[in-house]
Amino acid sequence: MTAAFSKTGSDHATVTMLSAEEIVRDLGLLREIVIRHKAPDAPLAVGTAIINGIETPVFTKVPQTLGDYYRLALNAADLPFLIYQDERYSYGQTLHLAENLAKALVSEYGIAKGDRIAICSRNNPQWCMAYMAITMIGAIVVPMNSWWQGSEMHYGLEDSGTRLLIADQERIDRLTPHLGDLSLRIIAIRPAAASTHGDFAALLQKGADLPSSLLEDRHILPDDDASIMYTSGSTGHPKGVLSSHRAIISALYSWLFVKEITEILRPELREDNPLYQPGILANVPLFHVTGSHAQFLASFIYHRKFVMMYKWNAEQALELIEKERLSVLHGVPTMTWEVMNSPNFAQTDLSSLRSVQSGGASRPPEHLAMMQSKFPGRAIPGLGYGLTETNAVGAIITGKFYLAKPDSTGRPIQPLTSIRIEDEQGNVLENGQIGEICIKGVTVMKGYWNKPEETARVLKDGWFRTGDLGLLDEHGFLIIKDRAKDIVIRGGENIGCAEVEYAIAEHPQVCEVAVFGLPDERLGEIVGAKVMVKPDANVNEAELQAFLQTRLAQFKIPSRIWIQTEQLERIASGKIAKKLIRDALIKDMQGQQEVR
């Protein structure tokens, strides 16, 4: 290993802070660049289409379905693509194997357009191939949370109406006791010796002998259903977010659009002849839009390596960045923080890095200051804001804008996305006023699967009400202030407080419970709970946490639980005073730290 950022000199641009006047100047230049870049004769031309009765800006020259999109692999057929431990697949091999699986799904399982097929597995090449195969034949992919317990998996499979599950053995073992009356067939990734389920590798071989005609005439349209991704919100169960082929593809090309116009404004950021093939560390789960969209699917456009980890580890991340000469470190802010604080950081050659970005949670200002010290030169810091319901598209901020406005998550992602702030009555607020953040654009979901009432509450005239509170400043930069929805964001993972409350309330000694987020330096937030138990109860924090082990994924289980026999505090309406409880406990915890 060599010293971090061993490359120095004029090829590394220094990021300096913009003044208010420079921000106005650069925003004006950006507007002019955007107009030219989306013109009718441009590669990323923008026109309009009628979607759900609403005239919507769309890209007019990009692939219209995911099956067409995957064929971008043919332009980089021999370049490395999927890398996982000792497995390495080129772009051409990946496309070929995905097509083989797609043919087998049609021939062996009779999969038709609109059928739901779930994937539940650790990050691995088979997950990626399965996603491609499912969507290229017009079926709907259901990327399930691989941290879920068996009962949670049962809910997702039943709710989505999944007829086929592709999973690794650990997830199959977890689900088996909960299969119940599910009418479900299973394909196993690396099955156990005694497995009676379909074998993923065997299907790839079988598909190789099947005719290509099985993939023809699938009649897939841009606005057909493509995926159902589950997200936690303020209700008890996760909701299935239904998105179209066009929505997902539009997200991918929106990020390309932003990259290209940024490089026109800042030509020093462009690399015409990079020393290494672009590469990204796949350090977040593929069942999230960050992992599936911003990392995996976006790689087709950039012809970059997609290097997967078995499990997140900062030291292994540093090793892979150096070994594979990766150009992008992207994930939740916690990961950047752990990499910067790793004892191996100073001895690792990170000269290949060109972008250090994050999303899913806010980044504390002290993290940004550390990044400027640890990642000088061309490793431009950035932050994004998006939701599962918007296919990860919302706002983005990078480089000098980010340094000038470290409390912001950026401006709306050009050229298809709009953001506005509304009050509780739906009135649009002026810049500087705090209200609910609303997002409109082609990447917004079609709705919540089989939940028309909940869909109607958050979608109106194409505008999605995010449940986040914030404002647009005088330059149109979004600043997130709080959440209207009752959720905790732990290391970028959304946790619905109601779901955790319901699980705790199942304990026979529990009378009532309040679940909330507690600040944490590493993860942003952790889950906390205050519980009222019966007067004669004999239960402690550890016992309640153990009780939840089979009911909730590990990351949802409260790290701190306060137990009392008195009724939880109330507000005037009689509701539990969750905010007051949370604030009082945080103040008490801070006081204890000061005493120490």
- Same domain flag for 555 and 493: yes
> In this structure, which amino acid lies at residue 22?
E
Percentage of the chain with pLDDT > 90?
62
Angle at 162 between CA 156 and CA 164, to 5 degrees: 120
- Same domain flag for 284 and 420: yes
CA distance 117 to 255: 27
CA distance 301 to 71: 10
CA distance 90 to 84: 12
Q: What is the pLDDT of residue 571?
A: 66
Of 483, 505, 525, the domain-final residue? 483
Structure tokens at 466: 């995010």
What number is the average pLDDT over the span 194-216?
93
Residue 330 CB contacts under 8 Å (≥ 6 apart), including other chains:
280, 281, 283, 290, 294, 295, 355, 356, 357, 358, 359
What number is the average pLDDT over the span 445-472?
94
C-beta of residue 207 within 8 angstroms of C-beta of residue 100: yes
- Per the omega criterion (within 30 degrees of 0), is the bond before 415 cis? yes
Q: What is the pLDDT of residue 338?
A: 86
Q: What is the pLDDT of residue 186?
A: 97
Nearest in space to 102 (alpha carbons), one of 140, 132, 68, 141: 132
Structure tokens at 588: 């008490």
User: Residue 203 above 70 pLDDT?
Assistant: yes
Q: How many helices (H) and strands (E) does the chain have?
A: 18, 29
Rounded (10°) CA dihedral 479, 483, 487, 491 = 20
User: Residue 332 above 50 pLDDT?
Assistant: yes
Residue 257 CB contacts under 8 Å (≥ 6 apart), including other chains:
37, 38, 44, 414, 415
Domain assignment present for residue 278? The answer is yes
CA distance 9 to 405: 27
Q: What is the pLDDT of residue 4?
A: 30
- Same domain flag for 213 and 290: no
Structure tokens at 503: 């699980």
> Cα 502 to chain center, whole Å?
25
User: Residue 234 above 60 pLDDT?
Assistant: no
CA distance 183 to 181: 6
- Same domain flag for 471 and 491: no
- Same domain flag for 405 and 541: no
Q: Which band of pLDDT confidence, cut at 50, 70 and 90, is reported for residue 377?
A: low
Residue 2 pairs in a beta bridge with none
- Same domain flag for 469 and 500: no
User: Residue 202 above 50 pLDDT?
Assistant: yes
Structure tokens at 518: 């507690």
Q: What is the pLDDT of residue 11?
A: 38
Q: What is the pLDDT of residue 75?
A: 96
User: Residue 500 above 80 pLDDT?
Assistant: yes
CATH of the domain at 110: 3.40.50.980
For helices 125-136 and 91-109, the axis angle rounded to 10 degrees is: 60
In this structure, what are the phi and psi dihedrals at residue 282, rounded to the nearest 5 degrees?
-85, 90
- Same domain flag for 497 and 478: no
Domain assignment present for residue 84? The answer is no
Query: Could you read off the pLDDT of 102-136 as tens digits, one per residue?
Result: 999 999 999 999 999 999 999 999 999 999 999 99
Nearest in space to 542 (alpha carbons), one of 560, 565, 554, 518: 560
Question: What is the maximum alpha-carbon separation in the chain?
Answer: 75
CA distance 576 to 207: 57
Q: What is the pLDDT of residue 355?
A: 83
- What domain count does the chain have? 3
Q: What secondary structure, in 3-state letters, does 180-228 show?
A: CCCCCEEEEECCCCCCCCEEHHHHHHHHHCCCHHHHCCCCCCCCCEEEE
- Same domain flag for 478 and 504: no
pTM, entire model:
0.83
CA distance 262 to 282: 24
Judged by average pLDDT, the poorest of 219-223, 243-247, 266-270, 533-537 is: 266-270
Q: Give, rounded to a whole angstrom, the gap between the first and last alpha carbons of the chain.
A: 40
CATH of the domain at 499: 3.30.300.30
Domain assignment present for residue 339? The answer is yes
Structure tokens at 507: 């304990």
CA distance 192 to 163: 22
SS3 306: strand
Of 159, 188, 220, the domain-final residue? 220
Q: What is the pLDDT of residue 330?
A: 84
Q: Where are the alpha helices (DSSP H) in 312-466?
A: 314-324, 333-340, 365-374, 399-404, 452-458
Domain assignment present for residue 13? The answer is no
- Same domain flag for 120 and 199: yes
CA distance 268 to 126: 38
| Tokens 């709705």, residue located | 447
Range of the domain at 517: 487-595
Pairing of strands 463-472, 478-483: antiparallel
- Same domain flag for 38 and 140: no
Domain assignment present for residue 79? The answer is no
C-beta of residue 464 within 8 angstroms of C-beta of residue 390: yes
Domain assignment present for residue 12? The answer is no
Q: What is the pLDDT of residue 360?
A: 58
CA distance 107 to 213: 11
- Same domain flag for 456 and 512: no
Residue 3 CB contacts under 8 Å (≥ 6 apart), including other chains:
346, 347, 349
In this structure, what are the phi and psi dihedrals at residue 152, rounded to the nearest 5 degrees?
-70, -40
| Tokens 């005609």, residue located | 213
| Tokens 């924090």, residue located | 541
Q: Which band of pLDDT confidence, cut at 50, 70 and 90, is reported for residue 413?
A: very high
Measured CA distances, 581 to 514, 517, 545, 573 (Å): 8, 11, 20, 16
Measured CA distances, 400 to 34, 272, 488, 494 (Å): 18, 22, 30, 29
Query: Could you read off the pLDDT of 157-178 as tens digits, one per residue?
Result: 999 999 999 999 999 999 999 9
Domain assignment present for residue 496? The answer is yes
Q: What is the pLDDT of residue 235?
A: 57
Of 483, 507, 525, the domain-final residue? 483
Burial (CB < 10 A; 0-12, 13-18, 19+), residue 315, is middle
- Same domain flag for 435 and 495: no
Measured CA distances, 14 to 4, 23, 339, 387 (Å): 16, 17, 21, 32
CATH of the domain at 476: 3.40.50.12780
CA distance 35 to 46: 10
Domain assignment present for residue 172? The answer is yes
Q: What is the pLDDT of residue 492?
A: 74
Judged by average pLDDT, the poorest of 13-27, 345-359, 535-549 is: 13-27
With DSSP H G I counted as helix, E B as strand and the rest as coil, what are the percentages for the chain, rounded to 5? 35, 25, 40
C-beta of residue 3 within 8 angstroms of C-beta of residue 346: yes
Nearest in space to 510 (alpha carbons), one of 488, 534, 529, 487: 534
